[in-house]
């Protein structure tokens, strides 16, 4: 949405993501306006929540989608490549699982096969 700085009259725009963040913030903090910061003088120009909602009527859906995406990345099930490549974590060692041949036989034999 297009804004104009109240102080230096610089026109600037709020992107979709920016609006989404703003609307989320207003929702959680129960605010009726958002302080959009001018890119030139960095002063805050209040934008009424209503006005922003008008330009982004389905923001709740968009936010919900965004949250789902974030969750999917956060607890990615194994095998799903996240944005950052993880170093392969140490998997369970496989070498240790050899079944030992029963030693009881040889043990037994040494005792029982004593012939006189
Ligand atoms: Zn300004």
How far, in Å, from the CA of 36 to the mean position of ligand 1?
10
Q: Which domain holds residue 54?
A: 2-75
Residues with CB under 5 A from ligand 1 (ion): 5, 7-8, 10, 38, 40-41
On whether residue 17 sits in a domain, the answer given is yes
How far, in Å, from the CA of 57 to the mean position of ligand 1?
27
On whether residue 68 sits in a domain, the answer given is yes
CA separation for the pair 62, 22 (Å, rounded): 13
Classify residue 63 by burial, with Cβ atoms within 10 Å: 0-12, 13-18, 19+: middle
Supply the pLDDT for residue 80: 54
On whether residue 57 sits in a domain, the answer given is yes
Q: Which tokens sit at 28?
A: 């959680």
Q: What is the mean pLDDT of each run of 10 residues along the chain (116 residues)?
A: 94 94 95 95 95 94 90 76 62 64 63 64
On whether residue 38 sits in a domain, the answer given is yes
Number of domains within the chain: 1
Phi, psi torsion values for 50, nearest 5 degrees? -60, -45
On whether residue 94 sits in a domain, the answer given is no
CA separation for the pair 15, 13 (Å, rounded): 6
On whether residue 64 sits in a domain, the answer given is yes
How far, in Å, from the CA of 42 to the mean position of ligand 1?
6
Q: Which tokens sit at 14?
A: 């709020």
Supply the pLDDT for residue 113: 63
């Amino acid at each position: 949405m297009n804004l104009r700085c109240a102080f230096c009259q610089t026109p600037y725009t709020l992107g979709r993501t920016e609006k989404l963040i703003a609307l989320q913030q207003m929702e959680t903090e129960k605010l009726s306006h958002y302080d959009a910061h001018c890119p030139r003088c960095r002063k805050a120009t209040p934008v009424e929540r209503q006005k922003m909602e008008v330009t982004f009527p389905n923001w709740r859906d968009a936010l919900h989608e965004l949250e789902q995406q974030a969750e999917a990345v956060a607890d990615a099930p194994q095998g799903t490549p996240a944005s950052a490549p993880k170093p392969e974590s140490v998997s369970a060692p496989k070498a240790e699982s050899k079944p030992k041949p029963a030693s009881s036989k040889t043990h037994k034999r040494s005792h029982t096969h004593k012939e006189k």
